[in-house]
A and B are shown apart, each in its own frame.
Chain A
Amino acid sequence: MDQQIVNAIFTGSIYALFAVGYTLVFGILDILNLAHSAVFMFGAALTYSLVVNHGQSFWIACVLGIIASAALGLVIEYVCLRPLRRRQAPPIAALISTIGLALVIVAAVEQGKQGGLFAWLWVDGANSVAFPRGTIPNPIWHVGDLTLEATKVVIIPISIALMLVLGYVMRYTQVGRGLRAVAENPRAARLMGLDVDRMIALTLVISSALGGLAGILFGVALGDISPYIGRDYVEVRGLAVIVLGGMGSIPGAVLGGYLLGLIEMLALVTLGSGARGGVAFAALFLMLVLRPQGLFGTRLRERI
């Protein structure tokens, strides 16, 4: 049971890190960035590929993976979101364009086979792989009857530190004030002399860097990297997390992530593995019906 709780905290940290990026974009743009789970997968896949295909050390691969994920955030902004803003399209159109990009990213990684166009990006097609032994330092500690792997333990301080930094930036810095101004009212922010487009691009970069990092941590800790980890593990769970915490709220997303980790663990222990997925969605459904503003949200936005 203790081990289960520790595992729930690990998964919760990954959910939280993933959902923070998700909720950041929703809070500022009122748009669900459905390519976020593809970015999560891309970060993990690229890091794996750099280590295995290109023989880089793990740390360099991590840094490059995060930078590439951030760059993917710029792609989302310039290809999927900015042209639609220029045309004053309904927000629902951005759902479809980001789905399109997610499809492209996943399909590209899927085709990363020897001799394929995307072989540099990935090595094993649609299969699931893990980092080869010895490429990542992974000491294992035993505390009482708990088994703690460094790759999993390290997720917790990284997640919490990053979320504190993000919270500080949003609340106390000039950039954070700018981002919040755009979230409040883009038109007024523009009239106050803010470069709204740049702020939005920055939002996507931060969000995607966090998403890519979450993917890398997931791949390292769980030893399961495939083109489908985004879709299978975090796409809809990320929605559940940001709904539990309140859409657009960063502290809410953090606590929602841990809460979902715990709920799933409890479902696993009490109801068995079959019910695990269903419970998360039942919680999501009930939360929206009973308290749509989430645990920590204060107001409801009504635009899509």
Chain B
Amino acid sequence: MDQFISLLTDPVAFWNSHTLLIGQIGINGIIATSMFLVLYSGQLSLAAPGFMAIGAYVSVLMGNYWHTPGVLNTVTAALLAGVVGLLVGLPVLRLRGVFLAIATIGFVEALRLGVILNVPITGEGLGLSNTLSADPLGGINVIIVSLIVIVIVVWRLTKGRLGNAWAAIRQDELAALSQGINVARYKMIAFVISALMAGYAGALEAHLFFNVDPSDAQYGVTRAVQILTFAVLGGSGFVLGPIVGALIITLLPYIFGAAGDYINVLAGIFLIVVIVFRPQGIVGRGGLALVRPAWWPGSRVRAASTG
């Protein structure tokens, strides 16, 4: 915890000396929001690391080979991730619950183990370096602003017509269908938007760390599970829940820093304790709701449950 004392005594120095950590929190926040969107529409999709990988590789490859500006690379990468999301979603979104989760894991790992590690242009197991120096998108300001914009957009989406349709599908797909809601279309919209966001976050992450590393913890199942943990631990009923989850999970190594070698033992126990005592997540009924003023958005939203 020592390093956080400077947050109170000298916030500017804290900001400057922890830019990578803050950037990582921001990126995880964006991915968590992308996870929130699919969960909000009742889909347990774990495909986010696959879309992140697409975003990261496409943007870095474009920059390295064509020397196109970073903004263009990032936008193209995000759009391409969205297109892949559409193509993957077409067959996969007929599945529900844990079947969807497993199918998307299949997609993520087939992409990583089957394609990325076997195609020479991706650098195979070594990954890629981002050769751009002084990358304007590597700065954390872009990440923080993106996070804020994305959260506001997603929050507005969940409040509108789309959000109502998603909530209806989440609570009872059959009932939603019988009300004339085009379930397949609304699910696909949520899936594609979330793929866009994940691709964007992946591109930003590649720019932040200047390299792309095709490891399990980065674009594999481990990452998928971590992202799911953001959303479930934080609470998936309100858009800020997954971001709180992302913040806590990203900071876990620092929170339990004093435990030294036993960090992961404590982190695991922490996860179990939080989820056992607050299965609906930290942000949700009875949690932050207790300290939340009545005018605060989302006061009446219930914790989401898929299925």
Q: Chain A: which residue is nearest B267 at the CB level?
A: A103
Tell me if A83 and B268 are in contact (CB < 8 A).
Answer: no
CB <8 Å contact, A302 and B115 = no
**CB of A32 within 8 Å of the partner chain:** yes
* Nearest chain A CB to B86 CB, angstrom units: 15
Q: Is the CB of B113 within 8 A of A288?
A: no
Given contacts A96-B275, A117-B262, A274-B117, contact A104 B109 (CB under 8 A): no
A34 nearest in chain B by CB position: B225
Q: Which residue of B lies closest to A32 (CB)?
A: B98
A277 is an interface residue with CB less than 8 A from chain B = yes
- The answer to whether residues A282 and B275 also contact, given A93-B232, A111-B261 and a CB cut-off of 8 A, is no
Complex: how many Å from CA A94 to CA B216?
Answer: 23
Name which residue of chain A comes closest to B220, CB basis.
A236
Q: Check A90 against B264 for contact (C-beta < 8 Å).
A: no
One digit per residue, 1 when the CB lies within 8 angstroms of any chain A CB and 0 when it does not, for chain B 91-119 equals 11011111101110111111011110110
Neighbour of A91 across the interface among B106, B270, B307, CB < 8 A: B307
List of B residues within 8 angstroms of A64 by Cβ: none
Across the interface, which residues of A come within 8 angstroms of B250, CB to CB? none
**Any chain A CB within 8 A of the CB of B146?**
no
Say yes or no for B45: interface residue by CB 8 A criterion.
no
User: Is the CB–CB distance between A239 and B269 below 8 Å?
Assistant: no
Q: A83-B276, A84-B279, A111-B261 are in contact. Are A103 and B99 (CB under 8 A)?
A: no
Instruction: Given the known inter-chain contacts A289-B91, A289-B92, please indicate yes or no for A100 contacting B268, CB distance below 8 A.
Output: yes
B280 within 8 A of A: yes
Tell whether B306 is near chain A: CB-to-CB under 8 Å. Answer: yes
B228 on the A face (CB < 8 A): yes
- Closest Cβ of chain A: how far from B188's Cβ, in Å? 15
CB-CB < 8 A to A303: which residues of B?
Answer: 97, 307
Interface residue total, chain B, C-beta cutoff 8 A: 50
Tell me the residues in window 65-83 of chain A with beta carbons closer than 8 Å to chain B beta carbons.
79-80, 83
| Pair A104/B110 contact, Cβ less than 8 Å | no
A300 part of interface (Cβ distance < 8 Å): yes
A227-255: contact bitstring with B at CB < 8 Å (1 yes, 0 no)? 00001000110011001000100000000
Query: 1/0 contact trace for B266-295 toward A, CB 8 Å?
Result: 011111100110011000000000000000
Residue of B nearest to A294 (CB): B99
Chain A residues with CB under 8 Å of B92's CB are: 288-289
Verify A90–B271 contact, CB threshold 8 A. no
In the assembly, what is the distance between CA of A116 and CA of B101, in Å?
37
Q: Are B114 and A279 in contact (CB under 8 A)?
A: yes
CA distance A142 to B95 in the complex (A): 48
Q: A99-B271, A278-B110 are in contact. Are A89 and B280 (CB under 8 A)?
A: yes
A92 and B44 contact, CB distance less than 8 A: yes
Interface residue from A100, A105, A243, A288 paired with B271 (Cβ < 8 Å): A100
Give the residues in chain A near B264, CB-CB below 8 Å.
Answer: 103-104, 106-107, 110
CA gap between A166 and B54 in the complex, in Å: 44
Q: Which residues of B contact A302 (CB under 8 A)?
A: 96-97, 307
A240 CA / B105 CA spacing, docked (Å): 10
Residue of B44, B99, B117 near A278 (CB, 8 A) is B117
Expressed in whole angstroms, the Cα–Cα distance for A83 and B225 within the complex equals 22
Instruction: Determine the distance from Cα of A231 to Cα of B216 in the docked complex, in whole angstroms.
Output: 10
B265 within 8 A of A: yes
**B residues within 8 A CB of A106?**
264
Query: In the bound complex, do residue B275 and residue A93 qualify as a contact, i.e. CB atoms below 8 Å apart?
Result: yes
**Interface membership of B198, Cβ < 8 A:** no
Let me know if A87 is at the binding interface, CB within 8 A: yes
Any B CB within 8 A of the CB of A281: yes
Q: Which residues of A contact B271 (CB under 8 A)?
A: 96-97, 99-100, 103
Please judge, given known A-B contacts A93-B279, A96-B232, A275-B114, whether A282 and B265 are in contact too, CB under 8 Å: no
Contact status A92-B114, CB under 8 Å: no
* A285 lies within 8 A of chain B by Cβ: yes
Q: Is B212 an interface residue (CB 8 A)?
A: no
Fill in one digit per residue for B10-37: 1 if any A CB lies within 8 Å of its CB, else 0: 0000000000000000000000000000
Contact of A99 among B113, B229, B263 (CB under 8 A): B229
| Given contacts A100-B271, A285-B110, A92 and B91 within 8 Å (CB-CB) | no
- Closest chain-A Cβ to B281's Cβ sits at a distance in Å of 9
Contacts A103-B264, A281-B110, A289-B95 known; list 16 others, CB within 8 Å.
Answer: A32-B98, A84-B275, A90-B280, A90-B306, A92-B305, A93-B232, A96-B229, A116-B261, A277-B117, A278-B110, A281-B105, A282-B110, A292-B95, A302-B307, A303-B97, A304-B97
12 CB < 8 A contacts A-B? A32-B98, A96-B271, A107-B267, A111-B261, A111-B265, A231-B222, A285-B103, A288-B102, A288-B103, A289-B92, A302-B97, A303-B97
